[in-house]
């Protein structure tokens, strides 16, 4: 009643074995050339590229941060330098000013001294000439006075002398 | 650890699938015997007023006669059968063609549907003829399209071509003298008889009725050496069968899918995956990162990656192709011939890749006492062949079991229909739809899991063959 049909799917047949072998080998061969190898390589390359760009980005970030630090350092240095230069300039200025002042002072005092000396000399010369003039004038006066009345009055002679002395003192 | 989980999961699936299969199978058989009893009873009532011919002679014919009686009442072929019967009765034979249309036979139907065939049928309605290449050593090649057989219901042919006929989708040869060996000849139905062979095992012999006489059918040669009920016969079938056509279609489909993906990888090498790439890339990476690299190693995996990918995607494609409803439900990966070819390829790849350490571990295991070494080499030598054998059986068993389970559930409609008529059809459908739906969901997982298991085991065998041992 219940009969056993031989289980045909499990009976190996020559035809199916032949075609399976041919088709699978072709599939394997063609697919490895057309698809599997290129895709595997593309994936490898992509992974490699992604990794390297990540690494690059990381490196760049690190470089950036180090560069920034350097910049900051440079900036600080520059600022310091600037203050230094400014200070120096200020000092220089003060020094130059002071020197100039001093020089000016020295010059002026020298000029003053020279002027003083000159004045003194001029004064002396003037005095000399004044004295000479006054003497002459006195003589003149005296001559005139004398011409009028020289012989009689000794008191008048002494008075003239006194006058002459007074002129000398001035 | 992850792999232990995978393997445990697969074991559960295997057991689960097997369980459903055997249950469904047993169930179908039980129902069949109930049905048989009912039919016998019907037969007693109607025996004499129906045809009035004797059912003696062949035991099997008696049984099928019973089915025939029941069926003639609601069969479309009713008239036709009667005419044939009348003709045969005139010769004084019991004509099996009168009772040709048997009661629904779940086992036979299931096996027919998961077998390879020389015609690609969709829903028993569209029949795509296939190139048929038959070779008989004494007469040479016969090359023709299978529509020469005028294939009809149940994928049975109605015309013989050069001594070949089609029965249940497969080409058979008739060598009994008296059967025309040349040209096209219309023949009658097919019958079969169960006999005991020399070892006392039941054997089914198929016959084709021609001119009122039965002629024995000879199946195509198989190379199981009789182990699985086949053997070398008078002809070989090298046709582009249903399975071969499915393989070609799936291979082409995968080729175009992967070619377009490969193009996309070439054109935009460093961009994110798009379209078909996003579909294929996760699977590709999974096989590469979870199968190839862990088992074969970072250094050597690239050599074996194309093979692993071919195995995975070809098996997966064929598994899924067989699952698509209304596409013929071909059972390529459930066919032992196909899995055998894959297993043989794996066997050769593994053993040709084997390094010195691998062979040393097989024939003279280092690190064990000398008296154990020969014992281990026997075990290891056996395991060389058992490994591909298990690969072959696991895949074919799982996929065939899944197909049979689904067919059994669908068969419930017909079983209940035969028992209780239209109401039974309703009950059967109500049962079959959720069960089939459930089974198809399971089979979808099995399609992926079995492709993955085949690949991961291949990778592990290759890994063992190319592994380098630092010590010993």
Three-state DSSP at B153 gives: helix
pLDDT score recorded for residue A152: 61
Length of chain A counted residue by residue: 170
| B237, B280, B310 ranked by CB distance to A13: nearest | B237
Contact A29, B238 (CB under 8 A): no
In-domain check, residue A136: yes
Q: Got the DSSP string for B267-299?
A: HSTTS---THHHHHHHHHHHIIIIIIHHHH-TT
Q: Is residue A64 part of a domain?
A: yes
Of A2, A15, A37, the CB nearest to B241: A15
Cβ neighbours of A15 in B, within 8 Å:
133, 220, 236-239, 241, 244
Answer yes or no: is A10 within a domain: no
Out of A13, A19, A31, closest to residue B255 by CB? A31
Contact A27 B310 (CB under 8 A): yes
Closest CA–CA distance from residue B125 to any residue of chain A (Å): 23
> How many Å apart are CA A26 and CA B214, to the nearest integer?
44
Domain that holds residue A49: 17-169
Q: Which residues in chain A have their CB less than 8 angstroms from residue B33's CB? A: 1-2
Q: What letters, b where the CB count within 10 A reaches 16 and e where it falls short, cover B217-237?
A: bbbbbbbbeeebbbeebbbbb
Whether B396 has its CB under 8 Å from any CB of chain A: the answer is yes
Cα(B398)–Cα(B445) distance, rounded to whole angstroms?
A: 11
What mean pLDDT value characterizes chain B?
79
Question: Can you say whether the dihedral through the CA atoms of A91, A97, A101, A107 is positive or negative?
Answer: positive
Closest chain A C-alpha to B157 CA, distance in angstroms: 19
Write down the pLDDT at residue A169: 60
Question: Chain A within 8 Å of B302 (Cβ-Cβ)?
Answer: yes
Report how far apart, in Å, the C-alpha atoms of B308 and of each of B9, B73, B293, B303, B335 are: 21, 56, 11, 10, 20
The confidence score (pLDDT) of residue B17 equals: 42
Q: Which residues contact B111 (CB under 8 A, 6 or more apart)?
A: A5, A7, A8, A9
Look at residue B352 in the predicted model and tell me its pLDDT: 93
Residue B327 burial (C-beta neighbours within 10 Å; 0-12, 13-18, 19+) = middle
Find all residues with CB under 8 Å of B110, minimum gap 6, and list them: B403, B404, B407, B408, B411
- Cross-chain residue pair B111–A40, CB shorter than 8 Å: no
- Give the E-state strand segments of chain A in sequence order: none
Q: How far is B187 from chain A (nearest CA, A)?
A: 23
pLDDT of B206: 87
Range B217-234 average pLDDT: 81
Q: Measured between CB atoms, which of A5, A12, A14 is closest to B336?
A: A12
What is residue B225's predicted lDDT score, i.e. its pLDDT? Answer: 73
Give B-chain residues touching A47 at CB under 8 angstroms: none
Q: Are residues A25 and B345, on separate chains, in Cβ contact within 8 Å?
A: yes
pLDDT confidence band for B470 (50 / 70 / 90) = low
In whole angstroms, give the CA distance from residue B367 to residue B310: 37
pLDDT at B439 > cutoff 50: yes
Report DSSP letters for A49-92, one per residue. Answer: HHHHHHHHHHHHHHHHHHHHHHHHHHHHHHHHHHHHHHHHHHHH
Q: How far is B210 from chain A (nearest CA, A)?
A: 23
A-B CB pairs within 8 A amount to 188
Q: Parse chain B into domains and list their residue ranges.
A: 2-99, 120-240, 244-466
Gap from B366 CA to chain A (nearest CA, Å): 36
**Comparing B52-61, B111-120, B161-170, B448-457, which segment has the lowest mean pLDDT?**
B52-61
Q: Please check whether residue A124 lies inside any domain of the structure.
A: yes
In this structure, the number of other CB atoms found within 10 A of the CB of residue A36 comes to 24
How many of the other CB atoms lie within 10 Å of CB of B120? 23
- Contact flag B170-A46 (C-beta cutoff 8 Å): no
Count structural domains, chain A: 1
Give pLDDT < 70 ranges for chain A: 1-6, 145-153, 168-170
Alpha-carbon distance of B234 to B174, in angstroms, equals: 10
Mean pLDDT, range B60-76, rounded to an integer: 37
Instruction: Give B443 to chain A, closest Cα distance, Å.
Output: 18
Strand ranges across the sheet with B170-174: B184-186, B159-161, B164-167, B170-174, B213-218, B202-210, B190-196
Residue B301 pLDDT:
92
* Higher pLDDT, residue B368 or B388: B388
| B314 contacts: CB under 8 Å, gap ≥ 6 | A24, A27, B250, B251, B254
Contact B336 A11 (CB under 8 A): yes
Q: Which residue has the higher pLDDT, B140 or A153?
A: B140
Residue A4's SS3 state is coil
Is there a contact between B105 and B32 (Cβ–Cβ < 8 Å)? yes
Q: Could you give the CA distance from residue A169 to residue B395 in angstroms, rounded to a whole number?
A: 152
């Amino acid at each position: 009643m219940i009969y056993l049909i031989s289980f045909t799917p499990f009976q190996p047949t020559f035809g199916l074995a032949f075609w399976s072998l041919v088709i699978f080998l072709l599939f394997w061969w063609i697919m490895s050339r057309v698809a599997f190898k290129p895709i595997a390589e593309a994936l490898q390359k992509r992974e490699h590229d992604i990794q390297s760009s990540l690494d690059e980005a990381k490196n760049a970030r690190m470089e950036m941060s180090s560069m920034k630090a350097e910049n900051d350092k440079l900036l600080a240095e520059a600022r310091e330098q600037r203050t230094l230069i400014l200070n120096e300039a200020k000092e220089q200025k003060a020094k130059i000013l002071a020197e100039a002042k001093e020089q000016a002072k020295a010059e002026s005092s020298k000029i003053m001294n020279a002027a003083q000396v000159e004045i003194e000399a001029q004064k002396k010369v003037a005095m000399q000439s004044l004295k000479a003039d006054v003497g002459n004038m006195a003589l003149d006066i005296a001559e005139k006075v004398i011409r009028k009345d020289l012989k009689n009055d000794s008191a008048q002679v002494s008075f003239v002398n006194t006058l002459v002395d007074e002129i000398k003192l001035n | 650890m992850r792999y232990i989980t995978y393997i445990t999961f697969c074991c559960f699936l295997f057991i689960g699938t097997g369980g459903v299969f055997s249950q469904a199978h047993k169930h179908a058989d039980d129902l069949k015997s109930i049905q048989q009893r009912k039919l016998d009873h019907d037969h007693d009532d109607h025996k004499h007023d129906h045809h009035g011919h004797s059912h003696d002679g062949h035991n099997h014919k008696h049984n099928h006669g019973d089915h025939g009686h029941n069926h003639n009442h609601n069969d479309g072929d009713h008239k036709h059968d009667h005419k044939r019967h009348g003709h045969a009765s005139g010769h004084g034979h019991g004509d099996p063609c009168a009772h040709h249309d048997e009661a629904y036979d779940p086992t036979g139907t299931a096996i027919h549907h998961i077998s390879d065939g020389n015609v690609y049928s969709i829903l028993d309605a569209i029949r795509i003829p296939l190139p048929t290449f038959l070779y008989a050593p004494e007469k040479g090649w016969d090359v023709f399209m299978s529509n020469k057989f005028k294939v009809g219901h149940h994928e049975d042919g109605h015309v013989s071509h050069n001594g070949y006929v089609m029965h249940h989708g497969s080409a058979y040869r008739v060598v009994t003298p008296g059967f025309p060996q040349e040209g096209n000849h219309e023949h009658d139905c097919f019958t079969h008889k169960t006999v005991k062979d020399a070892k006392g095992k039941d054997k089914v012999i198929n016959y084709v009725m021609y001119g009122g006489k039965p002629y024995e059918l000879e199946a195509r040669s198989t190379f199981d050496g009789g182990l699985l009920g086949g053997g070398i016969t008078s002809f070989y079938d090298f046709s582009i069968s249903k399975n071969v056509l499915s393989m070609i279609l799936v291979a082409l489909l995968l080729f175009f899918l992967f070619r377009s993906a490969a193009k996309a990888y070439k054109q935009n090498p460093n961009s994110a995956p798009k379209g078909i790439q996003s579909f294929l890339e996760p699977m590709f990476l999974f096989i590469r990162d979870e199968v190839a690299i862990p088992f074969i190693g970072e250094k050597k995996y690239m050599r074996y990656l194309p093979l692993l990918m071919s195995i995975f995607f070809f098996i997966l494609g064929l598994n899924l192709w067989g699952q698509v409803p209304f596409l013929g439900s071909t059972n390529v990966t459930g066919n032992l011939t196909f899995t055998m070819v894959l297993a043989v390829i794996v066997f050769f790849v593994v053993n040709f890749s084997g390094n010195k350490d691998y062979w040393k571990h097989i024939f003279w295991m280092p690190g064990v006492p000398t008296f154990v070494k020969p014992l281990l080499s026997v075990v290891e030598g056996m395991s060389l062949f058992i490994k591909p054998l298990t690969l072959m059986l696991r895949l074919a068993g799982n996929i065939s079991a899944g197909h049979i389970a689904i067919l059994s559930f669908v068969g419930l409609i017909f079983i209940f229909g035969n028992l209780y008529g239209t109401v039974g059809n309703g009950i059967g459908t109500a049962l079959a739809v959720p069960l089939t739906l459930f089974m198809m969901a399971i089979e979808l997982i099995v399609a992926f899991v079995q492709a993955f298991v085949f690949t991961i085991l291949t990778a592990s065998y290759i890994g063992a063959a190319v592994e380098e041992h630092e010590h010993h």
